[in-house]
Chains A and B, each alone.
Chain A
């Protein structure tokens, strides 16, 4: 049982380049999330999808777009990468609703030069 799978694990981009971070879950969860983790700041929510077909902004959405491709997959796109987007990105899923725990992937470490 893979849980939440993120690809790639590492990526280096130049300023202005674009890329898509992929995430897939095999737990039949309704809700999926993208967080970023920066030193000394904990995790901050970028975007989430409460259910297939819906997406909403989180705390720090600027510079990102998302697609809920189907129930399993939720991708995060950087259209024009900036050094401020250097971070570790985590995808997570949950069955939804209060008290449902988040299940995290192992993260994508992104460096923008």
Chain B
């Protein structure tokens, strides 16, 4: 079946690293994405990883992909209060870039 699972909440202190985890079930997914949603706004693409990669780094963001365990993680280094938001992982279906299966979202709370 198609299912993307995330934990619902994560709380960290400002300056710490945050790690948001995601598991997916469809091994045929070609791209995996991380989106960020701030209150009252739409989703904004943070980063994505192609399925033949196991790591991608982009400034403070590091994405790790373990295809064997179907596990995806997003690490945010030096987390700031402006990083407080809901983070969604998503997997692509077929070769249609916009047909995504989203997880439930992880609400990240950053305390000063």
Contact = CB atoms under 8 A, between A and B. Distances in A.
Interface of A: 4, 31, 33, 40-45, 48, 50, 58-59, 90, 92-107
Contacts of A104: 42-44
A103 B42 CA distance: 9
Interface string B101-112: 111110000000
Interface stretch (B58-66, B68-76, B77-85, B91-99): B91-99
Contacts of B104: 40-42
Nearest to A33: B98
Given A40-B8, A90-B42, A104-B43, A99 B102 contact: no
Contact of A100 (B4, B8, B97, B103): B97
Given A42-B102, A99-B48, A90 B97 contact: no
A100 B98 contact: yes
Nearest to A95: B97
B45 to A, nearest CB: 4
B100 A99 contact: no
Interface residues of B, number: 28
B99 A101 contact: no
A98 B95 contact: yes
B42 A106 contact: yes
Given A104-B43, A106-B41, A106-B42, A45 B30 contact: no
B24 interface: no
A97 B102 contact: no
B62 to A, nearest CB: 19
Contacts of B90: 43
Contacts of B41: 106-107
A42 B48 contact: no
Given A42-B102, A99-B97, A101-B97, 19 more contacts: A4-B42, A40-B104, A42-B103, A43-B90, A58-B99, A92-B43, A92-B98, A96-B96, A96-B97, A98-B31, A99-B92, A100-B97, A100-B98, A101-B33, A101-B45, A102-B35, A102-B45, A104-B43, A107-B42
